[in-house]
């Protein structure tokens, strides 16, 4: 059974924004059981973990003699080996993978930049002046995404690993209010969150956080 790593005590307080959520959700979509090894922040920067993940992050993936890092690579690896996350048709498969890269390379960076500023720059002199520009960068991407998505359920035909990545990236905006400006995208995220596999993955990571809080 593959083993992944996750935060022992997630800084998102169990809201499922940590990147192990993507891998958990992928496992649940394809019906593949997995083990989880929890790591403290200190352990993530120790040699034992750095041997698995050069950047000292979570998640990692270990299965036999294969070790992987990067949530995108792990989800793609799972999707290539099990039915349920990539279309059979070669062209549709390539497009689903393109949406995975779009989620990580084009949509996620301005969202992370905004959320980092909201977390770490609130007390800086420039915060009020800089915030509107950061929000605007996110709005541009949301507008483009909304125009492409329209009233469709998913980005390109059936639910795929591309939707899985995009929904997890967009969920970081849940508390920002920005998604409310794009009802089609808010509905898309809600559609992802309503999938039984998402719920199982979400509950699993929440249980870890709740256990850490009680201890």
**Residue ranges that bind its own copies, judged by CB under 8 A:** 50, 54-57, 65-74, 76-77, 91, 94-95, 97-98, 100-102, 104-106, 108-109, 112-113, 124-126, 129-130, 141, 144-145, 147-148
Alpha helices in 64-195 (DSSP H): 71-81, 90-101, 108-120, 127-149, 161-171, 183-193
Q: How far apart are CA 167 and CA 192, in angstroms?
A: 6
Least separation in angstroms between residue 158's CB and its own copies is: 18
Of the candidates 149, 13, 59, the one whose C-alpha atom is nearest the C-alpha of residue 167 is: 149
Q: Which residues contact 156 (CB under 8 A, 6 or more apart)?
A: 92, 95, 96, 99, 162
Question: Euclidean distance between the first and final Cα of the chain, in Å?
Answer: 28
Closest contact distance (angstroms) between CB of 202 and its own copies is: 22
Provide the minimum distance between the beta carbon of 69 and its own copies in the complex, in angstroms, as a whole number.
6
Tokens 């003699």 belong to which residue? Answer: 65
CA 93, CA 184: separation in Å to the nearest integer? 24
The least CB distance from residue 213 to its own copies, in Å, is 29
Q: Provide the 10 A C-beta neighbour count for residue 91.
A: 8
Handedness of CA 124, 130, 132, 134 (dihedral sign): negative
Q: Report in angstroms how near the CB of residue 148 gets to its own copies at its nearest.
A: 4
Q: Which is nearer to its own copies, 102 or 201 (CB)?
A: 102
User: Torsions phi, psi of 84, nearest 5?
Assistant: 125, -15
Task: State which residue, 76 or 201, has the beta carbon closest to its own copies.
Answer: 76
Q: For its own copies, which is the closer residue by CB, 24 or 141?
A: 141
Min dist CB 132 to its own copies, Å, is 13
Q: Which two tokens stand for residue 108?
A: 């996620």
């Amino acid at each position: 059974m593959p083993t992944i790593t996750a935060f022992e005590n997630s800084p998102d307080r169990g809201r499922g924004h940590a990147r192990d959520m993507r891998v958990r959700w992928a496992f649940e979509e394809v019906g593949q059981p997995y083990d989880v090894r929890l790591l403290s922040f200190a352990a993530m920067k120790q040699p034992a973990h750095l041997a698995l993940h050069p950047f000292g992050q979570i998640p990692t993936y270990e299965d036999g003699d294969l070790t992987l890092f990067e949530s995108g690579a792990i989800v793609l690896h799972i999707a290539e080996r099990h039915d349920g996350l990539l279309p059979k048709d070669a062209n549709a498969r390539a497009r689903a993978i393109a949406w995975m890269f779009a989620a990580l390379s084009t949509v996620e960076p301005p969202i992370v930049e905004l959320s980092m500023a909201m977390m770490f720059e609130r007390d800086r002199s420039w915060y009020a002046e800089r915030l509107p520009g950061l929000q605007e960068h996110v709005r541009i991407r949301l507008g483009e995404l909304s125009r492409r998505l329209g009233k469709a359920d998913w980005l390109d035909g059936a639910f795929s690993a591309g939707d899985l990545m995009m929904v997890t990236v967009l969920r970081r905006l849940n508390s920002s209010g920005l998604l409310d400006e794009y009802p089609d995208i808010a509905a898309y995220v809600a559609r992802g969150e309503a999938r039984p596999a998402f719920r199982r993955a979400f509950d699993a990571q929440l249980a870890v956080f709740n256990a850490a809080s009680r201890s």
